[in-house]
């Protein structure tokens, strides 16, 4: 037991700084141009709900989003009920392959079992039925599950690769910090960061 601990403990301590660096690199950036999803308690014009859009303006107390609606959505930072930052779009080939496997195998098994048992050989003699394939319903179900499952994997993977969803990272609101960021030409802009 002691030898195992002597190996694991130093290795864990050696990699500890890298985990904090990775956590800092993955912290979401909230600045003009970022795509976000907000859950607003109330917007400046009295609307409630969830809004998805691109930040066009960020002040010390509010942010403005360009959404699919004609007018921008302006929300006070204090009225935010939730904030998520887009991490891009992702396709789902492996999820599609898994679903295709399950559906294909189930369909093949049902069809195979429905075929039933082959009738027994009626010929007499030792080798009279030699070379004739005869299967039970369970064997047909197994073959159907394998064949249709393989087809389901191929079709499901193709379908899943064509389905893209947006990935979102939630930003803890209690860790939001608003600060000034120097810009070119001696200007300053507001930036929102996440404290850890």
The alpha-helical segments, DSSP class H, found in 26-92 are: none
**Model confidence over 155-189: pLDDT tens digits?**
999 999 999 999 998 888 776 655 555 667 665 55
In angstroms, the CA 91 to CA 110 distance is 30
Is pLDDT at 92 greater than 80 in this prediction?
Answer: yes
User: What is 2-88+166-194's CATH number?
Assistant: 2.30.30.100
Domain residue ranges in the chain: 2-88+166-194, 93-162
For the ranges 86-100, 119-133, 160-174, the one whose mean pLDDT is highest: 86-100
In angstroms, the CA 24 to CA 21 distance is 5
Q: What is the pTM of this model?
A: 0.57
Mean pLDDT computed over 30-47:
83
CB atoms within 10 A of CB 79: 15
- Three-state DSSP at 4 gives helix
- Is the CA virtual torsion 25, 27, 32, 33 positive or negative? positive
Please report, for residues 9, 14, 17, the alpha-carbon distance to residue 6 in angstroms, rounded to integers and kept in the order given. Answer: 6, 13, 19
- Three-state DSSP at 34 gives coil
65 has which bridge partners? 55, 73
Please report, for residues 52, 146, 159, the alpha-carbon distance to residue 94 in angstroms, rounded to integers and kept in the order given. Answer: 27, 18, 10
Mean pLDDT computed over 53-61:
87
């Amino acid at each position: 037991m002691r030898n195992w601990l002597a190996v694991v403990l130093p290795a864990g301590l050696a990699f500890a700084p890298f985990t904090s660096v990775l956590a800092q690199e993955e912290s979401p950036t909230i600045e003009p141009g970022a795509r976000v999803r907000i859950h607003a308690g109330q917007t400046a014009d009295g609307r409630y709900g969830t809004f998805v859009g691109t930040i066009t303006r960020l002040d010390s107390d509010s942010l403005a989003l360009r959404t699919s609606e004609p007018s921008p959505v302006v929300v006070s930072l204090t009225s935010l009920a939730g904030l998520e930052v887009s991490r891009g779009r992702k396709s789902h080939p492996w999820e599609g392959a898994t679903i295709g496997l399950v559906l294909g195998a189930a369909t093949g098994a049902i069809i195979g079992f429905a075929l039933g048992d082959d009738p027994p050989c009626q010929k007499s003699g030792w080798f009279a039925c030699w070379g004739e394939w005869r299967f039970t319903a369970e064997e047909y179900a197994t073959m159907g599950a394998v064949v249709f499952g393989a087809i389901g994997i191929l079709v499901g993977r193709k379908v899943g690769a064509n389905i893209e969803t947006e990935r979102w990272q939630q930003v803890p609101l209690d860790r939001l910090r608003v600060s000034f960021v120097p810009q070119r030409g001696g200007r300053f802009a507001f930036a929102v960061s996440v404290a850890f």
